[in-house]
């Protein structure tokens, strides 16, 4: 389970994110239909059509193998950021 914690002076927020949601998100993000829709919108709104950025194809199986490997490294810190105003963001496996 991915755990996201945000601390500020006014509030604390903790969001547990199960790996099944990560896998579902990977399936949605790596779908060809979504990628084509996004690339069409980028091309339509770009000033210079020849230099418009296109999102490359993502390998769903490779991303899912990364998520399955993350399960073997519980407790590992991915992000630990503290701002000058005291805001803290921590992401752990």
pLDDT of residue 50: 72
For 51, the domain range is 2-92
pLDDT of residue 67: 86
Is pTM, for the whole model, over 0.75?
Answer: no
Q: How far is CA 13 from CA 27, 38, 62, 87, 91, in A?
A: 27, 31, 31, 11, 12
pLDDT of residue 55: 82
Ranges in the chain, pLDDT < 70: none
Count of structural domains within the chain: 1
pLDDT of residue 41: 87
């Amino acid at each position: 389970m991915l755990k996201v914690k945000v601390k500020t002076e006014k509030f604390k927020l903790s969001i547990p994110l199960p790996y099944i949601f990560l896998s579902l998100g990977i399936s949605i993000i790596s779908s060809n239909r979504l990628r084509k829709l996004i690339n069409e919108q980028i091309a339509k709104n770009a000033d210079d059509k020849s230099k418009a950025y296109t999102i490359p194809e993502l390998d769903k199986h490779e991303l899912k193998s990364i998520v399955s490997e993350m399960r073997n490294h519980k407790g590992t810190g991915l992000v630990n950021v503290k701002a000058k105003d005291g805001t803290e963001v921590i992401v752990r496996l």
